[in-house]
Amino acid sequence: MAAKSKKDLLVANAILAPLDWVDERTGAVRGTKWFLFRNVPRDVSWAQTLGSAALTAFIVQTLTGVILAMYYEPSSSIDPITGKPIAYSSIEAITNELTLGWLVRGMHRWGASVFIILLFLHMGRVFLFGAYKYPRELTWITGVFILATGMLLGFTGYLLPWDQTAYWATVVGINLNGTAPFAGPWLAQFLAGGPEIGSDALAKWYALHMLVLPGAIIGLIGVHIYLVTRLGVSSPPWSSEEAGRERPPVQTTGTRSGLVRGGGGGD
């Protein structure tokens, strides 16, 4: 027993000491514990997994996107060898020639749709549960911004293959923005790089798609997850075990008695 505990102690030191060292300086371990080892309402179930599922889809998008960026070339000039635009040729090469390129491109393409669907389902779930109400208003608002940024990511990514569907969907999208009062025509001309889509537009949209918008959405997702962890997940409102349900009138004195009782329970 003693020998074993001594061995345990060694192992614990070997593993925990570095963790302690990091935690003392960053608080990272405490943060992870705060995130993982918290309680959620006991009736939380499958409906509340849509958010994390969307996060998984987003992580798939990030990974596959980074890899695609290693092979994709955002140029609308004509490739002298293939006689087609360089961007289009690089998409052809990713799909047809590079080993497993088709899979990564396919996952990125379909991951986008799955991500958007999951965002909508997640939003519908939150609406159904009334989970956007006090105190989770800001969680909802960051969520709406995530949805909007996600759709912008889909829209900017749609141009990149530089095929007919991509080009004309983008023309319409740019001109949609162009109909906004006052600034619309200016915004449209900025997005197109001139009165019509010009030779700089593809690289500009590529930068938006893989630098600007991902930065924005990652920040928003971080805030969103922090708020969810801080405020907790809400129970299904029809559940008999709902966390925060109204109690029979034994404890009518309200917050004060609740706090006292809560303190007692903790001890």
- Nearest by Cα to 232 from 69, 100, 97, 42: 42
18 in contact with another protein (CB under 8 A): no
205 in contact with another protein (CB under 8 A): no
Q: How many residues bind another protein (CB under 8 A)?
A: 117
Among 5, 66, 127, 222, indicate the residue that binds another protein (CB under 8 A).
127
User: Burial letters for 187-206: b for 16+ Cβ neighbours within 10 Å, e otherwise?
Assistant: ebeebbbeeebeeebbebbb
134 in contact with another protein (CB under 8 A): yes
85 in contact with another protein (CB under 8 A): yes
Part in contact with another protein (CB under 8 A); list of ranges 11-19, 65-73, 120-128, 217-225: 120-128
Taking a C-beta distance cutoff of 8 angstroms, is the pair 160, 202 a contact?
A: yes
- Nearest by Cα to 123 from 83, 158, 150: 150
Nearer CB in complex with another protein: 85/214: 85
Part in contact with another protein (CB under 8 A); list of ranges 2-10, 13-21, 23-31, 243-251: 243-251
152 in contact with another protein (CB under 8 A): no
Report d(CA 123, CA 266) in Å as an integer: 34
- For residue 210, the 8-state DSSP code is I
Taking a C-beta distance cutoff of 8 angstroms, is the pair 238, 128 a contact?
A: no
Among 148, 152, 203, 216, indicate the residue that binds another protein (CB under 8 A).
148
Phi/psi at 247 (nearest 5 deg)?
A: -100, 160
One-letter amino acid of 2:
A
Ranges within 27-66 binding another protein (CB under 8 A): 35-42, 44-46, 48-50, 52-53, 55-57, 60
CB atoms within 10 A of CB 120: 14
Nearer CB in complex with another protein: 31/237: 237
Q: Please state the closest distance from residue 108 (CB atom) to another protein, in A.
A: 8
Nearer CB in complex with another protein: 9/183: 183
151 in contact with another protein (CB under 8 A): yes
Radius of gyration of the chain (CA): 25
Q: Please state the closest distance from residue 235 (CB atom) to another protein, in A.
A: 8
160 in contact with another protein (CB under 8 A): no
Part in contact with another protein (CB under 8 A); list of ranges 9-17, 23-31, 167-175, 216-224: 167-175
Question: Per the structure block, which two tokens stand in for 19?
Answer: 């963790």
Torsional sign, CA 48, 54, 55, 60? positive
Report d(CA 78, CA 252) in Å as an integer: 77
Among 19, 97, 190, 222, indicate the residue that binds another protein (CB under 8 A).
190
Part in contact with another protein (CB under 8 A); list of ranges 1-9, 10-18, 74-82, 217-225: 74-82
- For residue 244, the 8-state DSSP code is T
